[in-house]
Amino acid sequence: MTAVLEIKDLHVSVEGKEILKGVDLTIRQGEVHALMGPNGSGKSTMAYAIAGHPHYEVTGGDILFNGESILDLEPDERAKLGIFLAFQYPVAIPGVSFANFLRAAVSNVRGYKERAREQAAKSGDGKVIGSELMPMREFRKELMAKMDRFHVDRSFANRYLNEGFSGGEKKRGEVLQMAMLEPKIAILDESDSGLDIDALRVVADGINKLVADGMGALLITHYQRILNYVKPDKVSVFYDGRIVLTGGPEVAHMLEEKGYKWVEEDLAKELAAA
Ligand SMILES: Nc1ncnc2c1ncn2[C@@H]1O[C@H](COP(=O)(O)OP(=O)(O)OP(=O)(O)O)[C@@H](O)[C@H]1O
Ligand SMILES: [Mg+2]
C-alpha cells in the first residue's frame, strides 16, 4: 500500500498567534513535492506541526496518515508510522555519538523497545531480558553499508551528534538518518541550505535513492538549484500561512525569476474582486 500524508485545512498557532491559516497538502510515497515561500511564511511551522512539536498548537483542520488522524499521537509514535522530519536547525547532543543516536532511533522505530518491554511484562517479574536495542553487530553492519551507499564518511559514526559538524556535514548526516530509519514520508526543511556544489550533489543523490526505494519527500527550499538534481512532481508556493499555488517544476523557475512580489499583487487583486 502506498502511504499518504494529508494535511487538511490546517490551522496552527504559536504562542497564541495564528501562523498557519488553512493549509491543504498531500504527500504520497515515492513522490517529491517541493515547497517554496518567503521567510516567515510558516513552512517550518508546518513541518513542526506534522512532527508533533508541542509548541505548535493545532487549532483547526487535521493531519491524516493513511486516512487516520495523527493529531493525538506523540512525536515518537508519528516517527514509528514512518514520518520523518529533518530540522532546519538540527540540535547538537554532546556526549552522544552519531552511531548511538541512530541505534536508539532505529530501535524505537523498528519496535525493539516495545518488544523487549512486552516480554518483560509477560515474564512476571517485569525485568527486561535482552536488549531494548537492535543487536550491535547487525546494526553496525547495516550502518557501514549505508554510509558507503550514501557517501557518508565512516568517521561520522563515532563523532558526537552534530557537535562541530559543518553545515554540509549536518545535511549529509540527515540523509544517513533517513537511510537508516527508512521513513515512508520525509519532510526536509532546507536540506540544501549552505551546501557547496559537491555536497548538494551528494545530498540530492541520497534523496533520489531514497525516493526510488519508495520514500515520499516534502522538500522545503528557497532555491530552484536543488530541483535540478531532485526532480519534483509538484511545486507549491507557501505565502502567509497558506498554499497559494501548486504546479510543476516551472513554478520554481518562475519564482527564481520573479520573486514573490506577484503573489502579493495577485492576492490583492483577488481581495479587491471579492
Ligand atoms: N517557536 C516560536 N515562537 C514564536 N514565534 C514563532 C515560533 N515558531 C515560528 N514562529 C513565527 O511564525 C512565523 C513563521 O515562521 P516559520 O519558521 O514557520 O517560517 P518559514 O517559512 O520556515 O521561514 P524561513 O524561510 O525563514 O525558514 C514567523 O513569524 C515566526 O517568528
Ligand atoms: Mg523555515
Residues 35-64 pLDDT 10s: 999 999 999 999 999 999 999 999 999 999
Please count the CA atoms within 13 angstroms of the CA of 69 that sit on its side-chain side.
8
Q: What is the CA radius of gyration of the chain?
A: 20
Are 215 and 186 contacting, i.e. CB atoms less than 8 angstroms apart?
Answer: yes
Mean of all residue pLDDT scores within the chain: 89
* pTM of the complete model: 0.90
Cα-to-centroid distance, 139 and ligand 2 (Å): 33
> DSSP label at 92?
P
Quick one: pLDDT band at residue 124, thresholds 50, 70, 90? low
pLDDT, mean of residues 24-36: 96
pLDDT, mean of residues 96-122: 86
Pocket test for ligand 1, best of 39, 46, 190, 263 (most atoms within 8 A of CB): 39
Nearest to 24 by CA among 42, 41, 6: 6
Beta bridge partners of 187: 85, 218
pLDDT, mean of residues 121-126: 71
Q: Which ligand is nearest to the CA of 46?
A: 1
* pLDDT given at position 64: 98
Nearest to 140 by CA among 170, 102, 178: 102
Cα-to-centroid distance, 43 and ligand 2 (Å): 5
* pLDDT given at position 89: 65
Quick one: pLDDT band at residue 139, thresholds 50, 70, 90? very high
**How much of the chain is in helix, strand and coil states, percent to nearest 5?**
40, 25, 30
Cα-to-centroid distance, 44 and ligand 1 (Å): 6
* pLDDT given at position 130: 61
Q: Residue 85: in which H helix or E strand, if any?
A: strand 83-86
> Bigger pLDDT: 144 or 223?
144
Superfamily of domain 4-91+182-273: P-loop containing nucleotide triphosphate hydrolases (3.40.50.300)
Residues 6+ apart with CB under 8 A from 214: 29, 30, 184
37 Cα nearest atom in ligand 1: 21
pLDDT, mean of residues 169-192: 90
Enumerate the CATH 3.40.50.300 domain ranges in the chain, comma separated: 4-91+182-273
Please give the torsion angle defined by the CA atoms of residues 191, 196, 200 and 203, in that order, rounded to the nearest 10 degrees.
-70
